[in-house]
Structures are given as C-alpha cells and as structure tokens.
Amino acid sequence: MALVRQLFGHPGMSRADLAVAVGLTKSTVSQIVRELLEEGWLAERDVVVTGDVGRRPTPLFIDPGRLMLLGAEVDIESVRVVATSLTGEVLATVVTNHSPGKTAKACVAGLAAALLKVHAQLDPGRQEIIGMGVGLPGGVDEARAFLYVAPNLGWRDVPIGAMLRQKLVDTPLAGVPLFLQNEADVAALGELEFNSSIASDPLLYLSMNQGVGAGVIFNDRLLTGSRGFAGEVGHIVLQMNGPRCSCGRRGCAEALIGSRSILGTAEEHPHPLRELQRLVDEGDAKTLRALKKAGNYLGVLLQNLASAYDPGCIVIGGRMADLGDVFLQPALQTLSAYAEAAGLPPPNVRTARFGRDAVAVGAAALARYRLTRPRMRALDADLPVEDVD
Amino acid sequence: MALVRQLFGHPGMSRADLAVAVGLTKSTVSQIVRELLEEGWLAERDVVVTGDVGRRPTPLFIDPGRLMLLGAEVDIESVRVVATSLTGEVLATVVTNHSPGKTAKACVAGLAAALLKVHAQLDPGRQEIIGMGVGLPGGVDEARAFLYVAPNLGWRDVPIGAMLRQKLVDTPLAGVPLFLQNEADVAALGELEFNSSIASDPLLYLSMNQGVGAGVIFNDRLLTGSRGFAGEVGHIVLQMNGPRCSCGRRGCAEALIGSRSILGTAEEHPHPLRELQRLVDEGDAKTLRALKKAGNYLGVLLQNLASAYDPGCIVIGGRMADLGDVFLQPALQTLSAYAEAAGLPPPNVRTARFGRDAVAVGAAALARYRLTRPRMRALDADLPVEDVD
C-alpha cells in the first residue's frame, strides 16, 4: 500500500516516479500498479501532450469513483453516517436523531440502519465499500472494538464492534472491515488522511461537543495512551476547587467551557448544544456573557495543550466550535496574550476542515488509515458476534 | 542492532533464541554475533551444565566491561558527568559546580574538561567510549545539536554541539558520536533504556529543578513536538491570573511549584534549590507551609499530565523531588483525591531510578538510544566547529 499512500499525497505520479519514491524497481512497481488498477484503487488519466518526443509517462491517480469508505459518528444527540471516496469527498449523508438515554443496543441498531441506508444510495454495480469506521464519544479499545466508557451517553463496557457486526449479518455490509475509535481521534485522522499537503506533526484536534476531548497524532500514530485515555483534555484541571465536573472532579476544563456549564446548573437540558445555539441566535445577554468567560478558559486550555504537545497545528471542531466568534474570539485573545507575555509566536489554530461532518468523515479516514498501515487488523467477520444490552 | 537490543532486554539468550526473536536465520545470527563479539558489544558466558545430553547453547550477554558511554548534565548550579556501562551501571562520576550567570562558552569549556576527567578514570587499554550525550535545561534541536533557549540559564540560540566538538579537538574524545537533548527527555530515556523489564508506554518523566519540564516517550519515540517544546509542562497554566512566571505568563505550574516561588519573591537566591533544601533541613515553618501548598499544585499538575498523556507511569525526578515527603505527599494526596472523585484508579507514580544522576545517566542513555536506533545520525566530527559567546 506504500504506492497508494504515495499517490494519495502526490496524485499524477508516473510508474517511474513511484519506483523512485518507494525504492522499488520499475518492473515491480509496474506489476503492483497493474494489480491496483484491476482492484480499482488506481486510475490512469490521459497523458498531457508536451513538446517532448518519445513515449510520455502515464500519470496515475486514486480512482475517485470505485472504492468507497463509510464513516459514522455516534454522538449524544444523533447518528451521522457518510460515504466518502478514498480521498475524503462526501458522496452521501444520513443523519438520524436519537433521544438521550437510548440504550447502546437500540443505538447500534439505528447505526446499522443508517449505514445500510447510505450504502443503498451508492451505485451497486460500480461502487464498493472497502472499509468502515465509527467515532464514539468515549474511551475506546480499538483492537477489541470495545467502548470502555462514554460518560455523556451513560454507557460503560460495551462491545460496540461485535454488536454492530451482528446487526450487519446477511446485509451487503457483512464482512466489510470495521474500525472503532474515539471521536476526537478519528476527527484528527480525518485532518491527517484527507489532506493533500503534509499534515502538521504533532497534529491536535480539539473536539468540543457535550464532552471535550482531543485526538493527538504524533509521527503518524494516534497517541492513545496506556489505557486509551490520552487526550482526555476536557479533564485537565484549570481551576483548583472549581465547579464540579460531570466526571466527579472539580475545576476540569469541561466544567468551565462545556455547554452544560454555560447554560447554568439550574436547568438540565435534554439537548444542551441545541439549546445553547438557540440562545446565541436569540442574542441572550446572559448566555453571551457566559460564553465570553468560557471562551477565556478555552484560551487557557489551548495554552496548556500547546505546552504539553507543542503541536504544529491545533484544529478546533465540534458543535461548540459552530458557535463561532462569540466563543472562539475570547479564546484566541487569551492565547495571544499568553504568547505575547512569553515573547513567543502564538500556536497555529484553525477550525475543522470538514465542519459538522468532521467525526463522520474522520471515521472513514480511520478505515483508510488502518487499511493502508499494516499495524492493526480490521475487526473482521470471524469475530464472535455478541449481543449486550 | 536488533540483536543487541534483544539482549539488553533478555540477557543470556542463545544464538538460536535470538534467531527466533528477531526473525533471522541461525547462520545469519551466528555471523552477526561473531562480529559483535569482536567489536566488544557481547560476551559469552560459560554454559550451565544440565542433565541434558548434547551440545548446550551458549548464553550471550552484553559485555559490561568493554564499551562505555558518557553522559553529562548541565544544570543551573553544576555540570555532572558520568561514565556508564552499556546497561547503565555508573562507573565514574565528576561534578563541577559553576556560578550562576556563567556564559555558555565558559560552561562548555567546563563540560569538556569534566568529560575528559571522567574519561581519564577509565582503563584506556580495555575500555572504549562509543557515544556521549548531554542533557540541557531548555529546548533543544537534537538534529542540529542546538540549544534554542534555556530560560533559567539565560541562554538563547547556542550551538552547544559544535562548541563542545571544538573543545574536544585533539583529545581522546574527538570523533566520539555526540548527542544533545533536553534534560527531562534524556532522563525519560534513562528510564526506558536502562530497564530490564519492558518500560511503560507512554512513559513520562517529570523533572523538577529550577525549571519544571517533562520528557514523554511514546511508541519508543521521544515526543519532542513541532519545535522541540513538547513537554514544557512547567508552563501549563494551573491558575488563571495567578503569580507571574519566569516565562512572563501568569499562573504557570512553575510559578506555583518552583523553588523560587516557594522561597518567596522578596529575596533572589543565587542557588534557590540549595537554599530550599537548607530551610527544609532546618524545619523552617514558613517554608514547610509553602511546600505543602506547592505540593497540592503539583498534584493538580500530575492530574493534568495523566489527562493529557495517559502515561503507564509518571516518574518524578530532579532536585525538588529530593525534598521528599514534605513536598511529594501533598501531591500524591491531591492526585488520589481526583482519582477517587472520578471513580478511577490513581495514575502510577514513582521517583527516578537514578536519583541525583538521572539526567547524566539519561544522557548516556540518549547515546545508547541513538546508536541502537537507526533514525538519527550522531553529530559527528564532520560538522563545522563553531565558537559563539
């Protein structure tokens, strides 16, 4: 797959270019390219005629029309599924809202239905799904496709991968390689994989939904930590003895910048992110004040992420990022003030390339990442199927 | 070097064991072992006679007596140089105190003298230095052997590697591969390399001297960040608008747990760490109160490191760690309280294996790490020598 990775990054290379780039002989590269053309990974394009004489090298491209990926986001309020090309173009989308408190089992059934619905929108004769990924709001053991804990969903120890496999038995998606990972991690992979330029390293994706977490990629690897909890930056303590967090501790970032804390503790909203957006749209003065204060704390968190990881780029995403300048401007101002105080340039911060689709597209990127890196096998159909409530 | 790495971890393996472990044929392994025996990396030991018949496999070991490493720590108050075996046994030590405010040039001259002094203590006929490392209290570009900034020394943009090379021209250490890195990073490598069991991953070494920083190893690689500033965890902000830090920002960990803040701002000590130790030894009540408060903040920092990196182990080292329970107990209590509030086991924390020698031994480990991993070439004698004040 080294050739495919090379062409992902440098479309239009010839066989000869590829041989040099990956250090193989031209005849070996030609043989591999022939197989990849047959399998639908690559396409040849017409040669651009130049003034030079002799046979022109044929430029090779990843075929955008044949092989597809599915990516799914399971969040607190909805399931979002996309089909993408191998280079991240979104070809079909299905979003299903679900009510809070739904069981993992019911949610997995909805996820399976949404995956099949997106698949049904593709051209069955021409388009083939070669991998699918799921981003989950919690700690995930990717090798076991197992969710340890998703605090904002109230789930713990759920074998999501095996449950989803069971729901897909006897469907067109049975046997398609399946990968699961934390939602911030997959969003980070989306920024890494579907990027025609060389990605920053380390690359940090800060995901702010009901929970706050980060995906960190260092040296082409996800920093998952010793138990899958690395990047749980929503629980970096920003204020000793501060407000109580959903995790039980006090003064965590999530308790200072999360949607629930901005809305205030008096009322528990079933859909805090939607409610927050509504209040911002209405220009509610109390909410705008609370958002400014939370934005300042977001600036402190960004400063701390820069100190911890020295990322080449911090990408901000999630529904909280959609609130825009009213929340992000105070954060960037705080961050700039820290940089100025230290006489250093501020860290590079931008918003997510794929906006609302960042996690779903990132889940598709997870599948591409695992299929083009040899390190972890897919959760394949051999795995025993389980059914857990 | 895969064989040498294997034997570092599993002394006493036979050629046949090694062939299986590294996936080479027995004859290839025998050839490599023959060369390694000649070069002095390995030694054969006598076979233990068992009841079995036939020729017994000969156990192989890293030869502790032939090939040596040098490691140096440059800190605010002194230069410390050790010679170690390839497995981290300290064979000779030289410590030279230097006055604060010394120029980088004078300090490098003192470092070169100390390296040569340690070298002179070895057996010239039998023992050979195969690499040397230096740990520096600041941001380092390892590939260029260049120090960006060492705030507590007041140095900026110093080509330490080239300067040291120049001082070693026409000495027995001319041409010995030289490696430079941040002091917390090398101390983390010391915990990784000179460890007969498999090291935790990620492994985090928190170094607390006049400055506070961390070395983080993930997947056998140092997390150095996009500009060499990853792990600058002394500048994680623990208190918005808190006390002014030496970096210019407010509320950094270093401003809350560093020796200067504990001593108080009224008096500037030329040797704050020594002064702090003296006051603790005297049982000074004000100092003990300040240390307890600082220890609580250290607990918050440890919590934040656990959230950011999910390390398998946090190792605490540096002169501040030598203060012992009066400082560390409040930290561990705070950390345990956070874990209890979240219903999780507390992170695994221990003190440095090599105590006061952690950075110097770690610098020797850096040399071993680079010589046994193919990723980065040594700063060799070809490099132009420079002289910078």
pLDDT tens digits, one per residue of A116-143: 999 999 988 788 899 999 999 998 999 9
Can you read off the two tokens belonging to residue B80? 């410390």
Mutate to test the interface with A, among B310, B315, B373 (most CBs of A within 10 A): B310
Candidates B261, B251, B275; CA nearest to B211 is: B261
User: pLDDT at residue A41 above 80?
Assistant: no
Mutate to test the interface with B, among A157, A182, A226 (most CBs of B within 10 A): A226
User: pLDDT at residue A162 above 90?
Assistant: yes
Is there a contact between A225 and B308 (Cβ–Cβ < 8 Å)? no
Which is more confident, B364 or A274?
A: B364
Question: For residue A239, which residues of chain B lie inside 8 Å, CB to CB?
Answer: 239-240
Residues 6+ apart with CB under 8 A from A59: A11, A12, A13, A14, A44, A45, A47, A48
Q: For residue A382, what pLDDT band results from cuts at 50, 70 and 90?
A: very low
ipTM: 0.86
User: pLDDT at residue B289 above 50?
Assistant: yes
pLDDT of residue A301: 98
The DSSP string of A301-328 is: HHHHHHHHH--SEEEEESTTGGGTHHHH
Mutate to test the interface with A, among B307, B313, B336 (most CBs of A within 10 A): B307
Can you read off the two tokens belonging to residue B47? 């076979």
Q: Return the SS3 of A358.
A: helix
For B74-112, write each residue's pLDDT tens digit. Answer: 998 899 999 999 989 999 999 998 866 679 999 999 999
The DSSP string of A246-285 is: TTS-BSBHHHHHSHHHHH-SSS--SSHHHHHHHHHHHT-H
Residues 6+ apart with CB under 8 A from B363: B70, B71, B72, B73, B132, B133, B134, B135, B179, B181, B186
Is there a contact between B59 and B14 (Cβ–Cβ < 8 Å)? yes
Alpha-carbon span A182 to A153, nearest angstrom:
13
User: pLDDT at residue A90 above 70?
Assistant: yes
Looking at CA atoms only, how far is residue A263 from chain B in angstroms? 22
Q: Return the SS3 of A349.
A: strand
User: pLDDT at residue A4 above 70?
Assistant: yes
CA angle, A112 then A117 then A122, to 5°: 125
pLDDT of residue A22: 83
CB-CB under 8 Å, A247 with B341: yes
For A355-373, write each residue's pLDDT tens digit. Answer: 999 999 999 999 999 988 7
pLDDT of residue B387: 41
Question: For residue B235, which residues of chain A lie inside 8 Å, CB to CB?
Answer: 303, 307, 342
Question: For residue A300, which residues of chain B lie inside 8 Å, CB to CB?
Answer: 237, 240
- Each domain of chain A, given as residue ranges in start order, spans 2-62, 67-186+358-372, 196-352
Contact residues, chain A to chain B, C-beta under 8 Å:
200-202, 218-219, 221, 223-240, 247-250, 296-297, 300, 303-305, 307-312, 338, 341-343
Nearest CA in chain B to A221: B219
CB-CB under 8 Å, A303 with B237: yes
Matching residue, tokens 């300067």: B163
Percent with pLDDT over 70 in chain A: 90
The DSSP string of A184-231 is: HHHHHHHHHHS-SSPPPSSEEEEEESSSEEEEEEETTEE---SSS-TT
Class of domain A196-352: alpha beta
The DSSP string of B192-217 is: HHS-SSPPPSSEEEEEESSSEEEEEE
Can you read off the two tokens belonging to residue A118? 């997106």
User: pLDDT at residue B380 above 50?
Assistant: no
pLDDT of residue A385: 43
CB-CB under 8 Å, A226 with B307: no
CATH topology match: B67-186+358-372 vs B197-352:
yes
* Length of chain A (residues): 389
CB-CB under 8 Å, B233 with A308: yes
Looking at CA atoms only, how far is residue A140 from chain B in angstroms? 13
For A307-334, write each residue's pLDDT tens digit. Answer: 999 999 999 999 999 999 999 999 999 9
Nearest to B310 among A219, A227, A343 (CB): A227
Mean pLDDT of A146-160: 90
Buried b (16+ CB within 10 A) or exposed e, B320-346: bbbbeeebbebbbebbebbbeebebeb
pLDDT of residue A48: 56
Mean pLDDT of all residues belonging to chain B = 89
Class of domain B67-186+358-372: alpha beta
pLDDT of residue B102: 79
User: pLDDT at residue A376 above 70?
Assistant: no
Is the N-terminal amide bond of A202 cis, ω within 30° of 0? yes
Mutate to test the interface with B, among A239, A241, A307 (most CBs of B within 10 A): A307
Q: For residue A380, what pLDDT band results from cuts at 50, 70 and 90?
A: very low
Nearest to A237 among B234, B248, B303 (CB): B303
pLDDT of residue A366: 97
Across-strand partners of A314?
A204, A349
Q: For residue B113, what pLDDT band results from cuts at 50, 70 and 90?
A: very high
pLDDT of residue A386: 44
**Crossing angle of helices A272-282 and A285-309, rounded to 10°:** 120
CATH architecture of structural domain B2-62: Orthogonal Bundle (1.10)
Look at the domain B197-352 and name its fold. Nucleotidyltransferase; domain 5 (3.30.420)
Nearest CA in chain A to B225: A310
Can you read off the two tokens belonging to residue B241? 């608008």
- Strand locations in B249-319, DSSP E? 313-317
For A170-215, write each residue's pLDDT tens digit. Answer: 999 999 999 999 999 999 999 999 987 788 999 999 999 988 999 9
Nearest to B249 among A225, A231, A342 (CB): A342
pLDDT of residue B132: 97
Nearest to B226 among A230, A248, A310 (CB): A310
Mean pLDDT of B172-184: 96
Q: For residue A12, what pLDDT band results from cuts at 50, 70 and 90?
A: confident
CA angle, B170 then B174 then B178, to 5°: 155
Looking at CA atoms only, how far is residue B150 from chain A in angstroms? 13
Mean pLDDT of A235-258: 95
